[in-house]
């Protein structure tokens, strides 16, 4: 880590140690009071509310072997651009590096920005983007055996950087704490402010600009307007949509009566002249306490937001903020941002505004007894009321997190980077608070067959920064995880499968798709089986016990004698004895069918045989009786005729001449045969 950064951090940690000693007794008493009244802090391992900052990512990688002093900005393309100071080895020492990420999780290998070949330190980078996402970086540089401000620019997305340019043309004494901003209209107009000690013994705020995209810088000018030898430092700069340049800084000109305050100035002519508020300080306290470490941001409406470290509540500073809706003419009431009530330090704020959201991140000691220094953040929609504070870093160790830098993309996602000691002791970590929910897409309706695997694919699901996890509910009391997978349904039917996706900040989305599982399992026909029956006896057929995994919808009986039935049960009478080949076909709703073949033996009936014989005998006898009656009747008629004789009216006629009997004579009774 750079020497200047180490000095600042040692100073901060020394103050923290002093605070710990001072309030050790109070801390013990507070713990005892908590035990008595049953009040305790939230469990450190409790799950954060959704959405929350995602997994922390270490950015440090070769050729940077350590890292610190991060400066982050998110472009209109949604890409996070980051500059940091890192140790590159004994040849070049501490250098300024650049990296970027489109999702906050994977970062390109760092690119060295400074082009000197010495081992002097380059530290404290400040990164700014123009409307075309060209990258401007300025830093504190020791290559000239002094501390100066140098600059470089990339117009190819950070693949390479331009030749380094000296910003402060006066190199007397030290120039440090540089911050830059780019004009929102003219991307070639770059503004820079820094702390400058060119006047021996007096640190002032100086400003310079470049009108050629950083190829050269114009002569610098002093921003603060005090005439005394007071100390000014920690400047911050932002450019409004109307192109006014707004600068704030720490100012000790009233230190004897008010302590150090946050002062502001604005320029409407590119730094040629500066305009100061009627009340020169931003903070509204009247006590003799310190305000320091200001940070500034301006939203698209031109509202100016300033946050700073404030000691008005005692020796343990808090984070305060104020806003100006008048273009910096005046500032409103100061508002406390951190929501803890303990005697601990909050310091090193970083402020950003975009898309109707304002975010402050800072270094926080509220859990110093267990996790030491952490990064906390709070969000506001108006700069007046601030959300519950959330922890940004995800470690629970005693490592320290310092020097946060924060930025917001156009959708409201928050990117935060900071210096972190959890690993090698000198790294830069980053995390994203993703506020945009993912889109779940399980695919169009799926079709398959039971007993066979059906493939599920969630790859069409999307999230602006990436999906962290997938969970499937297949609709049959089973599930799976992962973007793709397969599932086998044991039973046919229509199922509703649900896909839930989560992003890295805990946002989730769920959608469903219909899965149609076709029935391929044939039913089982029951109710067949060989059987015997006497002819003309009614035989009962029952197929209702047939089974199917879904259900039988139709029955088809073929009785083998040319007759059939289509009901689950049926009665049938076989008219004739014999052996018949019968079948039962059962079909389910999917059209699957199965056949059961069986044999029906129809026996002849003995009683029916005797009845048929008797009926034959009766028929013969009936015919015989009829013939006999006919003959008797004929004989009776002849006898009656002979017994009466000829009448008086009739003459006896001689008999006819004899004739032979006609064999074809059918008269009844037949004529007697001719005598010989």
Give the least confident one: 51-60, 388-397, 466-475, 659-668.
659-668
The DSSP element (H or E) to which 150 belongs, if any, is strand 148-154
Share of residues in the chain with pLDDT > 70 (%): 87
Where do the DSSP E strands lie in 255-290?
A: 261-267
Q: Is the pTM of this model over 0.75?
A: yes
Distance between CA 430 and CA 416 in Å, rounded? 6
In three state form, how does the secondary structure of 367-422 look? CCCCCCCEEEEEEECCCCCCCCCEECCCCCCCCCEEEEEEEECCCCCEEEEEEECC
Nearest to 80 by CA among 105, 114, 97, 61: 105
pLDDT: which is higher, 210 or 5: 210
Residue 355: pLDDT band (50, 70, 90) is confident
Q: In the chain, how many H helices and how many E strands? A: 4, 41
pLDDT of 662 reads: 53
pLDDT of 638 reads: 79
Q: Domain 3-38+56-433 has what CATH class?
A: mainly beta
pLDDT digits (tens, 9 = 90+) for 260-288: 999 999 999 999 999 999 999 999 998 89
Per-residue pLDDT, averaged over 509-518, amounts to 96
pLDDT of 12 reads: 40
> 471, exposed or middle or buried, with CB in 10 Å at 0-12, 13-18, 19+?
middle
Sheet architecture: strand order including 165-166: 122-129, 135-141, 148-154, 165-166
φ/ψ of residue 477, rounded to 5: 70, 20
410-416-417-420 Cα dihedral, nearest 10 degrees: -170
Distance between CA 371 and CA 401 in Å, rounded? 9
Please list the residues that pair with 401 across neighbouring strands: 420
- Res. 4: pLDDT tops 80: no
CB 295 within 8 A of CB 320: no
Residue 637: pLDDT band (50, 70, 90) is confident
Helix (H, G, I), strand (E, B) or coil at 265: strand
Structure tokens at 545: 């016990």
The domain locations on the chain are: 3-38+56-433, 446-518, 531-606
CB 164 within 8 A of CB 115: yes
- Res. 136: pLDDT tops 50: yes
pLDDT of 640 reads: 78
3-38+56-433 against 446-518: fold identical: no
- Res. 671: pLDDT tops 90: no
In three state form, how does the secondary structure of 157-198 look? CCCCCCCCEECCCCCCCCEEEEEEEECCCCCCCEEEEEEEEE
- Res. 2: pLDDT tops 50: no
Best CATH choice for the domain 531-606 from the list 1.20.1090.10, 2.60.40.10, 3.30.360.10, 3.10.129.10: 2.60.40.10
DSSP string, 81-121: EEEEEEE--TTT-EEEEEEEESSSS--PPPEE-----S---
Best CATH choice for the domain 446-518 from the list 2.60.40.10, 3.90.180.10, 3.10.50.30, 1.10.1660.10: 2.60.40.10
């Amino acid at each position: 880590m750079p020497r200047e950064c180490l000095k600042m951090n040692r100073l901060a940690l020394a103050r923290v140690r002093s605070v710990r000693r001072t309030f050790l007794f109070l801390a013990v008493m507070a713990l005892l009071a908590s035990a008595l009244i049953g009040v305790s802090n939230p469990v450190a391992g409790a799950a954060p509310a959704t959405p929350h900052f995602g997994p922390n990512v270490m950015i440090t990688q070769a050729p940077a072997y350590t890292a610190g002093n991060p400066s982050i900005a998110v472009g209109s393309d949604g890409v996070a651009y980051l500059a940091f100071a890192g140790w590159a080895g004994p040849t070049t020492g501490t250098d300024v590096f650049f990296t970027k990420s489109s999702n906050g999780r994977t970062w390109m290998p760092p690119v060295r920005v400074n082009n000197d070949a010495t081992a002097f330190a380059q530290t404290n980078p400040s990164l700014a983007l123009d409307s075309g996402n060209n990258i401007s970086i300025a830093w504190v540089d020791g290559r000239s055996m002094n501390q100066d401000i140098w600059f470089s620019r990339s117009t190819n997305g950070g693949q390479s950087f331009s030749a380094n340019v000296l910003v402060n043309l006066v190199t007397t004494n030290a120039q440090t704490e540089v911050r830059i901003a780019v004009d929102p209209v003219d991307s070639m107009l770059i503004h820079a402010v820094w702390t400058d000690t060119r006047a021996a013994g007096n640190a002032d705020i100086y400003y310079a600009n470049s009108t050629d995209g950083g190829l050269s810088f114009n002569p610098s000018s002093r921003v603060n307007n005090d005439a005394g030898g007071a100390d000014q430092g920690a400047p911050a700069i932002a450019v409004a949509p109307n192109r006014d340049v707004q600068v704030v800084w720490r100012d000790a000109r009233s230190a004897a009566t008010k302590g150090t305050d946050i002062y502001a100035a604005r320029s409407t002519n590119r730094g040629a002249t500066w305009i100061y508020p009627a009340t020169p300080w931003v903070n509204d306290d009247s006590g003799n306490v310190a305000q320091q470490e200001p940070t500034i941001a301006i939203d698209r409406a031109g509202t100016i937001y300033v946050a700073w470290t404030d000691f008005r509540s005692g020796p343990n500073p808090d984070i305060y903020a104020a806003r100006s809706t008048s273009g910096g003419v005046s500032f409103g009431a100061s508002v406390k941002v951190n929501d803890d009530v303990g005697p601990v330090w909050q310091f090193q704020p970083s402020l950003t505004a975009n898309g109707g959201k304002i975010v402050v991140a800072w270094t926080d000691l509220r859990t110093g007894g267990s996790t030491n220094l952490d990064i906390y953040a709070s969000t506001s929609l108006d700069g007046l009321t601030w959300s519950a504070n959330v922890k940004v870093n995800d470690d629970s160790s005693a490592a320290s997190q310092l020097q946060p830098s924060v930025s917001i993309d156009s959708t409201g996602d928050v990117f935060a980077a900071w210096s972190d000691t959890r690993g090698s002791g000198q790294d830069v970590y980053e995390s994203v608070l993703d506020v945009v929910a993912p889109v779940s897409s399980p695919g169009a309706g799926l079709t398959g067959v039971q007993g066979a695997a059906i493939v599920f694919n969630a790859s069409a699901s999307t999230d602006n920064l990436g999906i962290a996890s997938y969970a499937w509910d297949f609709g049959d009391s089973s599930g799976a995880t992962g973007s793709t997978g397969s599932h086998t349904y044991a039973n046919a039917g229509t199922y509703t499968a649900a896909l839930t996706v989560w992003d890295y900040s805990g946002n989730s989305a769920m959608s469903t798709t219909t899965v149609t599982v076709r029935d391929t399992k044939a039913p089982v026909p029951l109710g067949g089986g060989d059987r015997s029956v006497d002819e003309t006896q009614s035989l009962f057929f029952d197929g209702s016990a047939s089974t199917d995994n879904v259900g039988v919808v139709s029955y088809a009986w073929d009785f083998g004698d040319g007759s059939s039935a289509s009901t689950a049960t049926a009665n049938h009478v076989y008219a004739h004895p014999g052996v018949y080949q019968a079948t039962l076909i059962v079909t389910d709703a999917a059209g699957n069918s199965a056949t059961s073949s069986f044999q029906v033996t129809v026996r002849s009936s003995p009683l029916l045989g005797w009845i048929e014989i008797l009926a034959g005998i009766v028929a013969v006898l009936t015919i015989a009786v009829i013939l006999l009656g006919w003959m008797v009747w004929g004989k009776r008629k002849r006898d009656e005729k002979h017994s009466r004789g000829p009448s008086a009216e009739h003459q006896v006629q001689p008999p006819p001449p004899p004739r032979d009997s006609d064999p074809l004579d059918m008269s009844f009774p037949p004529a007697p045969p001719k005598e010989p």
